[in-house]
Amino acid sequence: MKLRTAGTATAAALVLSLAVTACGKGGGDEGSADGAKKIAIGIKYDQPGLGLKEPDGSFSGFDVDVATYVAKELGYKAGDIEWKQTPSAERENMIANGDVRFIVASYSITDERKQKVDFAGPYLLAHQDLLVRADDRSITKAADLNSKKLCSVTGSTSAQNIRRDLAPKADLQQNGGYSECLTGLENKAVDALTTDDSILAGYAAQKEHRGKFRLVGLKLSDENYGIGLKKGDTELKGKINTALKKMVSDGSWQKAVTANFGPAHYKNEPAPAVAD
């Protein structure tokens, strides 16, 4: 008798469990374009103006705005997004392993990277540039860095490009992060900082830095930022491209550029043509 009662109770619990699961799945699917309840998106956590994790745990930046807009067009609300920190060296691995659905993280489109991942976009055309003190008018071109102190992060290809091709006598100082370079620039320990102009503008636009620095306005390279996704996922790529085109056409793209880079007087390029 006890065995029969236990069996009946177990069966009832199983039926109830299946019913709850079915109801839960339906609720989670509602509104999402691909049937998933959440979407994991890779961004940078340490790039002001592009991808930054704020002290209160929220996220800000142009890449965050782009990713949020794209996710919305795919059927996800802001609360459905799981932001994942995406270091540059781990981007391809995180896509291949399925840790993220796509990555929006100052991810320049290159032929080498396209061997491993696909790209939607581009959504921003950046250029390598120099950031100097606002009152320093001695640096107007890369050659002016000869015999001056140039700062960048350890392993930066941007700084090496200048040393190799444009200012071989520049005194290159390498630090662990751009914030250290900014401190050195403010304190006159270095004369210039180099990386993509979008990254430089993001730092210069921070409240504590406004008015202290200026971008020289050089275009030392072309960096087309794309949204990285798993190679061969043509369906998702097409949907993201459609979302990016809409973001440009409805004015949201320019609004995000102005909000995130405007305080640095960043002279951005027009929105690049999104690939079909």
Q: Domain 39-126+224-264: give its CATH architecture.
A: 3-Layer(aba) Sandwich (3.40)
The CATH number of domain 128-215, selected from 3.40.190.10, 3.90.1170.30, 3.30.70.260, 2.60.40.1080: 3.40.190.10
CA-nearest of 110, 115, 37, 103 to 240 is 103
pLDDT tens-digit readout, 103-119: 999 999 999 999 999 99
Sheet containing 46-47, strands listed edge to edge, beginning at the edge strand earlier in sequence: 46-47, 51-53, 59-60
In which residue ranges of the chain is CATH 3.40.190.10 found? 39-126+224-264, 128-215
Return the pLDDT at 34.
Answer: 58
Residues of the chain with pLDDT under 70: 1-36
Query: Cα separations (Å) of 28 from 38, 59, 81, 266?
Result: 8, 24, 13, 41
Return the pLDDT at 36.
Answer: 65
Q: How far is it, in rounded angstroms, from Cα 114 to Cα 228?
A: 9
Assign residue 181 a region: left if phi > 0, alpha if psi is -120 to 50, beta otherwise?
Answer: alpha
Torsion angle of alpha carbons 236, 241, 242, 245, nearest 10°?
A: 160
Return the pLDDT at 91.
Answer: 94
pTM as predicted? 0.81
Return the pLDDT at 265.
Answer: 85
What is the identity of the amino acid at 95?
A: I
Element (H, E) at 4: helix 2-29
